Amino acid sequence: MILSESEIQAVKSSILCRDTQLELLNSLLSTNYLECPRGLSIYGATSTGKSSLLRAVFEASHTRFSWVDCDQCVTIRILLQRALRSIKRDTQQFFNIDPSTLADPTQSGNFDVVTENVTAFYTALHNFQEVSKTSDSVHYLVLDRLDQLPDNTFDLITCLVRLQEISPVQNICPIFITSSLEQRAFVTTHIPHIRFPQYTKDETFEILSSMKTLCRLPDSCLDQNLTKADLQTTKFWQQYCNVLINALSSYTGSDIRLIKETAKQLWQEFIDPVVKGKFEVEEFLSIYRENQELFTSERAVTDKLISSSFTNSVQSAKKSSTDGARSTTVTTISKSQGSINELPLQSKYIICAAYLASYNPPRFDIRFFSRAKEARAKRRDTGRRKMLKINPRLLAAPAFDLERMLAILHAIAPSTSTGMFTDEPEKAFPSNVDIGAQIATLTELRLITRTSSSDPLDSRTRWRINASWNLVEKISKEIGIDLYEFLME
């Protein structure tokens, strides 16, 4: 046991809904290194309280431990170097050791010792413990987010678990925290495992509702009586948490960190009717109806690929076709020049390429987009035999293959290799741009859409442009493309 009964209750009050995991940690860890396991594996999804609970246990028990964030290490060599320095620093602080007393011919107390491999790590650690006389007390080495280390950690895990067998160091207990599935090294090694499952909806509400100090109502909106004001704040916050979790559960899931960020992001807009005096604090249902759009729009998204000013200018509207038999969702954008400029240059080229792929017949691609001299020499007369009664651009956009759109994009997009726009380098299309990320952004904005709900990576999936001609024409003029030169009239 590492915690007393009073310390267990203190940890439970600070870390909610993790009583089972706390009992397991308390039963496995000890202040005596002879009673500690050779290692401990803690795994579970992200934002499930793994690191928070373990750190709370160590701080409550006043046990010596060192914490290494493995996602900040590029190689195992850097990880071992940071682990050695952390152990030295934490040991000196725990025992109030003067670093000058550790100086010796082997430089065991030197913080610049380079640990090239696990053997050098063991040797430097053993020398330090011999000089500092701290080999009799347990020291926990926590490797947080070990699964995010780029190097293969199989040998590292195996060596650290067998630390007491292959080295004189006996008091170090490694603890591995991962968020992915268990690695083969954990399965083949006989060390205890503690799983942290995802929070249920009730547990998420309990945790979030306990954070009533996260967002506060202005004092001018509350009762002058402190007791009544506290009751009003608690009730309003619980109702807000309940609405937030139920409305955005498909986006946030049980990620407490993401829910907290979303709650803070929407708070000011949500209480704006109360601040302006339109509603009282007790009229929560009316306040929710007034702000219902907050929970259905992109304002709740914490990590946006584009700025919020452009997102707010994008609105979806239903535009019926001329015969009234079909309707299609058309995205309308504010007429202001600044809002359109929020789109990246690469996305503007993709919109133009998608429009050409939708409204140009595939058999005319060689005529308009081929740069080969042979193709130009063998052009046929592709003029229409009959005049069309309806402009195709007034009808719903036909679907196109993604590969065809990318080929058109390659033909119309300027680049340094083609020699186009050499006097305007800012209009050059970078060769290292992530086309997939740009297409995903345009899909979220409903500027291009998929015609089926199947896998977007499937070659049979087809796409269509979802932007109006006026918008595409305006974008093409900005980037210097004459769409009339490529469109089949």
* Type of residue at 179: S
Give the pLDDT confidence score for residue 268 in this predicted structure: 92
What is the residue-wise DSSP string for 73-100? -SSHHHHHHHHHHHHHHHHHHHHT--GG
Give the pLDDT confidence score for residue 388 in this predicted structure: 53
Q: Which residue has the tokens 């089949």?
A: 488
Collapsing DSSP states into helix, strand and coil, what is residue 447?
Answer: coil
Give the pLDDT confidence score for residue 236 in this predicted structure: 94
Alpha-carbon distances, residue 223 vs 276, 281, 282 (angstroms): 16, 9, 11
Tokens of 160: 């650290």
Alpha-carbon distances, residue 244 vs 140, 214, 235, 250, 408 (angstroms): 39, 14, 14, 11, 44
Q: CA–CA separation, 487 vs 489, rounded Å? A: 6
Successive 10-residue mean pLDDT values, the chain, 489 residues: 93 94 95 92 92 96 94 92 93 87 52 76 91 90 92 89 90 92 72 93 93 88 88 93 90 87 92 92 92 81 54 42 37 41 81 88 79 49 53 74 86 59 52 76 85 64 85 87 79
pTM (predicted TM-score): 0.62
Give the pLDDT confidence score for residue 399 in this predicted structure: 87
Q: Are 323 and 395 in contact (CB under 8 A)?
A: no
Helix, strand and coil in the chain, % to nearest 5: 50, 10, 40
Hey, what domains does the chain have and what are their CATH numbers?
5-101+109-196 (3.40.50.300), 201-218+227-296 (no CATH), 345-373+391-416+427-485 (1.10.10)
Q: CA–CA separation, 469 vs 462, rounded Å? A: 20
Nearest to 411 by CA among 374, 369, 373: 369
Alpha-carbon distances, residue 77 vs 80, 113, 166 (angstroms): 5, 12, 19
Q: CA–CA separation, 288 vs 283, rounded Å? A: 9
Give the pLDDT confidence score for residue 105 in this predicted structure: 45
Give the pLDDT confidence score for residue 187 in this predicted structure: 73
* Type of residue at 352: C
Q: Are 43 and 195 in contact (CB under 8 A)?
A: yes
Nearest to 359 by CA among 387, 400, 320: 400
Tokens of 241: 């948490």
Q: Are 351 and 442 in contact (CB under 8 A)?
A: yes
Alpha-carbon distances, residue 31 vs 19, 39, 64, 65, 190 (angstroms): 21, 14, 9, 11, 21
Alpha-carbon distances, residue 19 vs 11, 76, 377 (angstroms): 9, 34, 78
